[in-house]
Amino acid sequence: MRVLVTGSSGYLGQHFLNELLQRPESNDIFAAYRSMDGFEDAVRSHPNVSDKKSNIHYIKLDLTSEKDVDEYFNHADSFDICFHLAAISSPKVCQQDPSVAKAANVPVYFFDKLKNTPIIALSTDQVYCGTKAPYTEDNAVGPINTYAQTKVDMEKFLLSIESTSPGSKPRVCLRSSIILGAESPFGKSHSTFLHFCKSREGVETTFYTDECRSVISVLDVCRTLSHFLNAVQKGDEVESNVYNMGGPARVSRLEMALEVANHCGFDSSVFVSAEKSSQAPEENDVPSPLDITMSSTKLEELVGLKFRGLMEAVKKTFS
């Protein structure tokens, strides 16, 4: 299998790359990333790489540059599957420059080069407006910030691509909730919200009770991505679709912080609870939906998994 992973130096990209390297079969893995010092050396030190169980090809690629994309694809063979994990995922950064955000998060020219390749793309729960939770895939989207709008645009474009080769090429968009888990295996990308909670030990910190998500373990996300790789590898039919990808429960920011404190054994009495909806917006605040908890039953049934809850995700994060 020739497997292309964009955003491979990001948080999820690194975890999924690590998952690919531990698979029993040998694959050609094409790790595309824009920039990260020491990333390639860190991956090369992985035992499965040094043992040559999988072949890694590193691609420094700016997906917004037609020149970069042309230079690569003019010399590239076709891929069996693409996991599109690259994005500007900071709502604040997206809000500051919508044109840059759209170019990065809806890389039309890049997608056009993959017309004949199955694409599994990471979307976001923020496509929902936050007033009618819990959401199913049948609910209408209602993005309230630029980041969410770019993901809606990405979904629409991907699902509109028509293959120029015989047979349909599936496009799957996974509307992910907040991803929780251990730190990145190949270098610093960013820590999860759980690590932030742990860093607040002994520090008075306000956590909201009404900003709620269906948080999901990075391990479950990687297992979900692997399901689609297995299906394509076996020649099983994969339907183009959009799926919610979140954990089993409605979890507030405060509940996450309290669970971390309980697991790590420190006093949470300095944590202050508050309702975000009662706070006056600050200058340059990015609009953010309050409760975008989701039902992910459709995806769980498809991949044959029961996604972990918060308690187990915290245990796995700090084990």
Mean pLDDT of 222-248: 96
pLDDT at 195: 95
Residue 65 has pLDDT above 90, yes or no: yes
Residue 52 has pLDDT above 70, yes or no: no
Quick check: 176 and 244 in contact, CB under 8 A?
Answer: no
Instruction: Give buried/exposed letters for 158-167 (b at 16+ CB in 10 A, else e).
Output: beebeeeeee
pLDDT at 227: 97
pTM assigned to the model: 0.95
Q: Are strands 171-176 and 179-180 parallel, antiparallel or unpaired?
A: unpaired
Residue 144 has pLDDT above 90, yes or no: yes
Residue 53 has pLDDT above 70, yes or no: no
Task: Answer with the residue of higher pLDDT: 161 or 232.
Answer: 232
The residues facing 205 across adjacent strands are 271
User: Which of 15-19, 25-29, 139-143, 264-268 has the least mean pLDDT?
Assistant: 25-29
pLDDT at 37: 83
Q: How confident is the model at residue 220 (pLDDT cuts 50, 70, 90)?
A: very high
Residue 279 has pLDDT above 70, yes or no: yes
Mean pLDDT of 193-217: 96
Mean pLDDT of 222-233: 97
- pLDDT tens digits for range 153-193: 999 999 998 777 667 789 999 999 999 999 999 877 677 89
Q: How confident is the model at residue 306 (pLDDT cuts 50, 70, 90)?
A: very high
Quick check: 157 and 120 in contact, CB under 8 A?
Answer: no
Q: What is the dihedral of CA 213, 214, 217, 220, to 10 degrees?
A: -150
pLDDT at 51: 65
Q: What is the mean pLDDT of the chain?
A: 93
pLDDT at 239: 94
Q: Please list the alpha-helical segments (H only) found in 77-217.
A: 91-96, 98-105, 108-112, 146-160, 193-199
Mean pLDDT of 241-250: 97
Question: In the chain, what are the domains?
Answer: 2-182+216-246+293-308 (3.40.50.720)
pLDDT at 46: 81
- pLDDT tens digits for range 67-86: 999 999 987 888 999 999 99
Q: Please list the alpha-helical segments (H only) found in the chain.
A: 11-21, 39-44, 47-50, 66-73, 91-96, 98-105, 108-112, 146-160, 193-199, 218-234, 253-264, 297-303, 310-318
